[in-house]
Amino acid sequence: MSELELAGALTPAGHALRVRIYFEDTDFSGSVYHASYLRFFERGRSDFLRLLGVHHTALAAEGLVFAVRRMAIEFDRPARIDDVVEVRTAV
């Protein structure tokens, strides 16, 4: 599998990344722990930038970083172990 395949895909709307749910992502009920979604979102954001040619290591070498300023999240239904969710990132 190539680096590009691991990083998801650019789409007309932005970026899509498929993420499999593992045991470590879940809580005692078997549902994804709410904070785990934030990790999935960060992976999507990082891989979106990577496919655009913006690499965090290069930015850090120049003293630049991205900081999340605000989030608004609504949970529709829980993901469970072995599910595959798609993280979509857009500007």
Please list the active-site residues.
27
Other CB atoms within a 10 A radius of the CB of residue 14 amount to 13
**Distant-in-sequence contacts of 6-12, Cβ < 8 A, 24+ apart:** 6/47, 7/47, 7/50, 7/51, 8/44, 8/47, 8/48, 8/51, 8/87, 9/51, 10/48, 10/51, 10/52, 11/88
